Each structure stands twice: as C-alpha cells, then as structure tokens.
Amino acid sequence: MWGCVMRSESGDASMSDAYRAVWRWHFYAGVFVMPVLMLLALTGGLYLFKDEIDGFLYRDMIRVPAVQTQAAPETWVASAAQAAGGGRVANLVMPAHHDQAIRIRVNRPDGVQKTVFVDPHTGRATGVIPAGGFMEVVRKTHSLTLLGRPFNILVEIVAGWTIILFATGLYLWWPRGRGVATFAPQTTDSRRRPFWRDLHALTGVYVGGVVLFLAVTGMPWSAVWGDKVMGAVKETGLGRPPAPVAGAWQRAQHHDAPVGAGWTMEGMVMTHDHAGHGGLAQVLRVADQASLARPYTVNIPKADDTAYTLTTQATRVQDSRSLYVDAVSGRLLGDIGYDQFGAGAKAIEFGIYTHQGTQFGQANRIVMLLGCIGVWLLAISGLVMWWKRRPPNLSRRRLGAPPAPPGPRARAAVLGIVLPLAILYPLTGLSLIAAVLLDRALRPMIRRRSAAS
C-alpha cells in the first residue's frame, strides 16, 4: 500500500498538488514510523511462536516423566520459593499435559520476579529463569515497556501513523486515470525503479490490510487510548461481568493484570501474593470438578477475604473462561465464560486473539506472520527507492522528500485522510500537530539551503 513514486500521468494541476501532498505525508510517515514498526514486526513475529520457542529454550526444564503420583500443591509452592531464593508465590500455570512442569511465578523480597519450573509429580524444581524468560523480554520489547511504561505511549503513536501510512499508500496506489490497477511488478526500466516501486506498492496491497488490522487491534494495549477504551467499556456495561466477590478487585493499570487474564479483565486486577497456600489443593479440585480446560493460570489472593482467580489460557475467544474460588472455604463463587461477556469485550478480545494468531488456528498465525514479513519488505523496498532518488548532497539538503505543494486542494486531500485519525486517536493527533509545526519551521531553512546549493 505504500507506493510512493509520483505518477507521470498527471490529471489537472490541483489533483497533482493533492497527490504530491499525500506523497509527502506518506514519505515522512514512513521515515518516522518504519524503524519502530520494524521492531514491532520482528518481536510480534517471534511472539507468534511463543510456545515453540519456550519449548525449545527450556525443554530440559519443561519435560518431566509422566507418572500417576502427584506431590501436594504445598510442596510445589515451597519448592518454588526455595529455588527462587525466597519470596511469595504470585501465580502458577497448570500445564496441559502430565509430562510438563508447572510454572510458578515467585516475587522475591528484593523485587525481582522469577519463574520456577516444578515437577508436579515429585515437587522438585527443575529450573529457574527470570520471570517469563526470553519471551517476556520479547513481549516487553513489543510493547516498548522494556524501556519503561511511558515508552508504551510511542506504540500508540506508531499504530496511528501506521494507519496513516496505509491510507496514504492506498491513495497513491489507486489507479486514477490509468484504467486498471497494477497487480504485478514491472521491470521495464534499466534502473529498475518501477520494479521496486511496484514491489513496494503491491506488498502493501497484499499485506497492508493485515498490517492495518494489527495496528487497530493493537491499540487496546496502548497506554492512553487503551486505558480510556477499557474504562468506557466497563462503565457502559459492555465489558466482562463484574467479579462475584465483594472487595476482591482493585483498580489498576491494565498492564499489571494477572498472568492469563484477558484484556477486558485487566482493569480490575485480583490481588495476590497470599502467604498461606493451604487451600490450593482444594482450589485445584474445584477446577477439575468444573472441567476447566488446561493450561490455566491460578492467581493466588493476598488475603483470605478475596478469592483465587483461575483463568484458562484459551486459543479462541469463545473458549475464554474464569473461575472465582473462595480462599477460605474453597467454594466456587463464580464461573464466567464468553457467553456472559458484553458486546465490547467480545469484539475487543476477538481482535486480540486474532492479533496474537490463535483465533483461527495455524492459518491465522501464517497470515499474521505474512503481515510481519510484509512490514520488513515494505521498509526495504522503500529504502531502495529513496536511495535511487536521493539528493546528491544529503549533508546540505533535505532527505529527498516530495516538495510541499501549495493550494487548498492539496491541504484538503491530506486533511481528509489524517483528520479522522487525529480525532479518533488523540496521541496521533498531537504528534500530527507537532509534525506540521516542525515542517513549517524547517521549510524556510530548507529553501535557503537549496537556493544556496
């Protein structure tokens, strides 16, 4: 979708100005966004294969002999705490198969979190890694929270500009006055610029929709827009049903959700780090009696007046399910599934499951992977095109962006594309205003340097 070579078949002058204006915005959007977008595509592509990568990296810790006996859950907890160097257990993941270790998250007194693999049959710790391991680093890099929570704001801005890239690229590719659209690369030019131009544009045509989908469905995780939408969904009753336990939930940022919680469950986070685990065995029996599908996460409450939260790690949104079990009596307090979700929760979580490549099985994962590969192909082909038409003296002239055309038609063409996005995504709108002000401030300087050269 991101073809950015100006058409030689010009219509009237005002349309040509509009085309150049859109091309200019497309160029700068690519320059500003592509480096971060490539990082997101790389980490997102890796995360599509989270289970396979974890299974390979930690295979000696995960695989255990499958036997009939099982150690007491209290033994798992004690073994994990000892292996982690002390601390409290926050949650554990019951594996899907009997030949797999349990993963237990331990919060140490020094603030460090560890994931401990424990053999459920013997209670022996089989390995210790930093919380979440390598894929947790990938996840935090993908959300840019690895650099600190404020950097997550950049993801929202990049997602908004990615939508601008898609919209402006579609405008540039659309075959106005050319009869039919191009759907195959051309190689008629000795410099092969049409090949790179068409490869760039057609990559956008074939995978741009996937990239657009990833940008839109990634917005719920963003620091500002995501929080606002989550709050609106809950306040209007369109989210998940409220927890069935009075005082069991506390307001928190949706980035701090219990492991395994769905996005629309994340604004109301169950407290955990309870010091006593005598009721864990009873809680697991309740899960078995309720036929809760494995793997599932058990988030352990902090106090006895709250509840255990058990959430299945479903691959389809329709299979989402959470149990709430009283920490003292072991009584099942609530059983909430997809059918009880509000329309907002259903729509948003459907997008998230599809974004993560699990909703429609392997085909879903392949399509999302093609979108990630497409981002890199778009970036490489765009860089090649720029290199072929770069200014002769980059140190004294601008980057080779299309000139800013005058006229109301040109401004109207750009505003028609970016204004709705600026309204829908406020951070994107603020960054657009900053870009316009910077462009206006630098334009006289660029003209003077161009004239001097």
- Encoding tokens for residue 393? 């003296």
User: What angle is formed at CA 85 by the lines to CA 66 and CA 110, rounded to 5 degrees?
Assistant: 135
Q: Given a cut of 80, is residue 121 above it in pLDDT?
A: yes
In whole angstroms, what is the distance from residue 401 CA to residue 83 CA? 57
CATH number where 115 lies: 3.10.450
In whole angstroms, what is the distance from residue 63 CA to residue 68 CA? 15
pLDDT of residue 6: 42
Same domain, 122 and 158: no
Same domain, 175 and 38: yes
94: CB partners within 8 A, 6+ apart: 102, 284, 287, 294, 295, 296, 297, 298
Q: Which residues of 400-424 are buried (b: 16+ CB within 10 A; e: fewer)?
A: ebbebbeeebbeebbeebbeebbee
In whole angstroms, what is the distance from residue 381 CA to residue 172 CA? 16
Q: Given a cut of 60, is residue 176 above it in pLDDT?
A: yes
411: CB partners within 8 A, 6+ apart: 21
Same domain, 167 and 188: yes
Contact of 182 with 9, CB cutoff 8 Å: no
Tell me, yes or no, whether 232 lies in a domain.
Answer: no
Q: Helix H segments across 389-425?
A: 408-424
pLDDT of residue 398: 60
In whole angstroms, what is the distance from residue 213 CA to residue 438 CA? 30
Q: Tell me what the mean pLDDT of segment 242-257 comes to.
A: 49
Q: Tell me what the mean pLDDT of segment 421-440 comes to.
A: 86
Q: Given a cut of 70, is residue 451 above it in pLDDT?
A: no
Q: Which residues of 102-130 are buried (b: 16+ CB within 10 A; e: fewer)?
A: bbbbbbeeeeeebbbbbbbbbbbbbebbe
Q: Which residue has the higher pLDDT, 394 or 254?
A: 394
**Tens-place pLDDT, residues 100-110:** 999 999 999 99
Tell me, yes or no, whether 196 lies in a domain.
Answer: yes
Q: Given a cut of 60, is residue 258 above it in pLDDT?
A: no
User: Would strands 249-251 and 268-270 be described as parallel, antiparallel, or unpaired?
Assistant: antiparallel
The H or E element spanning position 107 is strand 102-107
pLDDT of residue 333: 93
Tell me, yes or no, whether 322 lies in a domain.
Answer: yes
Percent of the chain with pLDDT over 90: 54
Q: Given a cut of 90, is residue 376 above it in pLDDT?
A: yes
Asked which of 303, 328, 350 is the last residue of a domain, the reply is: 350
Indicate if the alpha-carbon torsion angle 262, 264, 265, 267 is positive or negative: positive
pLDDT of residue 148: 83
Same domain, 378 and 438: yes
Of 155-164, 265-274, 395-404, the range with the lowest mean pLDDT is 265-274
- pTM for the full predicted model: 0.85
Q: Which residue has the higher pLDDT, 272 or 234?
A: 234
Confidence band, pLDDT 50/70/90 cuts, at residue 216: very high
In whole angstroms, what is the distance from residue 9 CA to residue 19 CA? 11
Q: Tell me what the mean pLDDT of segment 149-155 comes to.
A: 85
- Encoding tokens for residue 424? 């829908």
Same domain, 343 and 244: yes
Q: Given a cut of 70, is residue 124 above it in pLDDT?
A: yes
The H or E element spanning position 307 is strand 307-312
Q: Given a cut of 80, is residue 247 above it in pLDDT?
A: no
Same domain, 278 and 413: no
pLDDT of residue 270: 45
pLDDT of residue 150: 80
In whole angstroms, what is the distance from residue 257 CA to residue 278 CA? 24
Tell me, yes or no, whether 54 lies in a domain.
Answer: no
pLDDT of residue 181: 53
Asked which of 73, 99, 132 is the last residue of a domain, the reply is: 132
Q: How many domains does the chain have?
A: 3
Tell me, yes or no, whether 228 lies in a domain.
Answer: no
Same domain, 446 and 301: no
Q: Mean pLDDT in the chain?
A: 84
Q: Given a cut of 50, is residue 357 above it in pLDDT?
A: yes
pLDDT of residue 274: 42
pLDDT of residue 253: 40
**Tens-place pLDDT, residues 270-313:** 444 444 455 899 999 999 999 999 999 999 987 766 789 999 99
Asked which of 350, 380, 410 is the last residue of a domain, the reply is: 350
pLDDT of residue 303: 72
**Tens-place pLDDT, residues 31-73:** 889 999 999 999 999 999 999 999 999 999 999 999 989 999 9
Tell me, yes or no, whether 400 lies in a domain.
Answer: yes
The one-character DSSP state at 266 is T
Q: Tell me what the mean pLDDT of segment 320-343 comes to.
A: 93
Same domain, 343 and 262: yes
Q: Which residues of 200-230 are buried (b: 16+ CB within 10 A; e: fewer)?
A: bbbbbbebbbbbbbbbbbbbbbbbebbbebb
Tell me, yes or no, whether 368 lies in a domain.
Answer: yes
Same domain, 71 and 120: yes
Q: CA of 156: how far to CAs of 73, 150, 346, in Å?
A: 41, 11, 22
pLDDT of residue 246: 42
Q: Tell me what the mean pLDDT of segment 171-196 comes to.
A: 64
pLDDT of residue 449: 62
Same domain, 311 and 430: no
Tell me, yes or no, whether 140 lies in a domain.
Answer: no
Contact of 107 with 88, CB cutoff 8 Å: yes
Same domain, 26 and 171: yes
User: What is the domain range of residue 91?
Assistant: 64-132
Q: Which residue has the higher pLDDT, 24 or 288?
A: 288
Rg for the chain, CA atoms, rounded: 26
Same domain, 346 and 387: no
